[in-house]
Structure 1
Amino acid sequence: MRRSALVTAVLPLALLFAAPLAAQETLRPTLSVSGEGTAFATPDVATITLGVTAQSETAADAMAQTSEIGARILERLTAMGVAARDVQTSDLSLNPIWSNRPVDNQQPKITGFEASNRVTIRVQQLDTLGDVLGAVLEDGANRLGGLSFGLKDPAPLLDEARRDAVADAMARAKVYAEAAGVTLGPVVSISEGGTSTPRPEMMMSLRASDMAVPVAEGETGITASVNMVFSIGE
């Protein structure tokens, strides 16, 4: 009976001393840093967003004009070798045009209608981009919503950016550890902070002589960030 009571008394003491040891192991000092890396490459695909807008006294005529111009643009793109899967029509709209000022204290009246639609074109042969832009403008496109460049396969560039982000985080950790006079231990955890694709620099201008649009695509880049935690040695 006495031996059994002794064992029962020793067990809580052992647990009592083990708890602080576990807490010390859990609260071991660490160093948290973040890193960022950006990789650049020459783009190999471009996306154009353009629009067609027409106004008329009747809704039917405004829509007919827009449809005629849109059909002409689609026909031209097909003739230039742009695949049907790379062309998408969207945002077809028809809105009334109101008089700016009321007459004889009357409410504004509808004076006409404006029809518009938007076409998104993916150009996979960048050497034809200027010709495509010039052709659609010549065929009646009167709104250019945007031009962006990208990559058909961004995965290798993204991997390069991630490697640069890890190298950046490790370099920062070494600097902090050295400045603090501590020894940098192994990596405890790594988590991705996110990725982004900055818009590339580009130049656009119109040549009135033949409506061709010279474009410089520049470079496109992908940025990746990472969060890393290192243990600190004694």
Structure 2
Amino acid sequence: MTSIVSVLPNRPLSFVRNIALAAGLSAAAMTAVPAFAQDQASITAIGSITMEGRGTVSVAPDMAVITTNVVTTAETAADALSENSASIAKVIDAIKGAGIEAKDIQTRGFGIYPRYERITDGSNRQPNIIGYEIRNGVEVNVRDLTKLGGLLTLVVESGANSVDGIRFEVSDPEEKLDEARKKAVEAARHKAEIFASAAGVELGNIMTITETGTQMPRPMMMRAEGMMMAKADAVPIEAGEETIGANVTIRWSLK
């Protein structure tokens, strides 16, 4: 005969007893009911605790990216291009001479733009082209920040007349992120142990662990002010610090 206990595993004790009596079970058969109900109670009494943890790592940027340009104007596009090409070649040579490898120098933002006359007589006629502007730039990865200030001055002295900005970066963010993840797990466990101790229980095994978010360094832009001076001391640079973070949510069973 199939046990009524196994058929109705999740019913209250009183319900199981009533079903047993209705089925005409003997008193001996019913003695198994209390023991089963106690087992069920012990199982459902096991709880869990869920905690969030956050870990952060402060890291100083170890590289910078600058974009410097040469802008030239002339009456014809050919003349503007010839002058621009000669000037940007000098800038690139100066950058390489400062110890920057060719792989860290990339052409960016080349363009030819017509320049139009200003119409001052109030007519609706189309303005005439009076010349051309050539803009050609290079993006440079500076992996040694001690060279950055001197390099900014150097590119201006060698012919660059526009520096769009400086972007500071961390070259190995994933490695630092792993450190933040470890700290996040430690923080979550620390809080869980405090709560469990206060409640008079012990942590069991981890049931689930989920990464709920990360914080990676966002490139910090810095405008290169005062870069149009023909001669200058090395530009003062402060890279500051970036924060890399990770959030986790962990669920433990309770003993």
Deviations 1:155-179 (A, max 9, x none): 4422222222223334455577789
The SS at the match of 2:147 is helix
The 10-residue stretch of structure 1 (210-219 or 70-79) with the greater mean CA deviation from structure 2:
210-219
Tell me the matched-pair count.
223
In the aligned structure 2, how far is the partner of 1:153 from the partner of 1:74? 27
Give identity over the alignment, percent: 31
Query: Residues 42-57 of structure 1 correspond to what in structure 2 (within 5 A)?
Result: 42-57=60-75
User: Which residue is equivalent to 1:224?
Assistant: 245
Query: Residues 67-82 of structure 1 correspond to what in structure 2 (within 5 A)?
Result: 67-82=85-100
Whether the 8 Å contact between 2:165 and 2:223 is mirrored in structure 1 is no
Work out which of the two has the higher radius of gyration on C-alpha atoms and give 1 or 2: 2
- In structure 1, list runs of 5 or more residues that go unmatched: 1-5
CA-based RMSD:
3.8
Query: Residues 11-26 of structure 1 correspond to what in structure 2 (within 5 A)?
Result: 14=6, 17=9
Whether the 8 Å contact between 2:52 and 2:188 is mirrored in structure 1 is yes
More strand by share: 1
Query: Residues 28-39 of structure 1 correspond to what in structure 2 (within 5 A)?
Result: 30-39=48-57
In the aligned structure 2, how far is the partner of 1:91 from the partner of 1:191? 42
Deviations 1:44-91 (A, max 9, x none): 322212222222222222222322221111111122221111111122
Query: For residue 134 of structure 1, what is the amino acid of its counterpart?
Result: T
**How high is the TM-score relative to the length of structure 2?**
0.68
The SS at the match of 1:17 is coil
Alpha carbons of structure 1 residues 172 and 95: separation in structure 2 relative to 1, 3 Å: farther
The 10-residue stretch of structure 1 (30-39 or 136-145) with the greater mean CA deviation from structure 2:
30-39
Correspondent of 1:112 among 124, 131, 136: 131
User: Which residue is equivalent to 1:83?
Assistant: 101
- 2:110 paired with 1:92: yes
**How high is the TM-score relative to the length of structure 1?**
0.73
The 10-residue stretch of structure 1 (224-233 or 123-132) with the greater mean CA deviation from structure 2:
224-233
The 10-residue stretch of structure 1 (182-191 or 120-129) with the greater mean CA deviation from structure 2:
182-191
In the aligned structure 2, how far is the partner of 1:90 from the partner of 1:174? 54
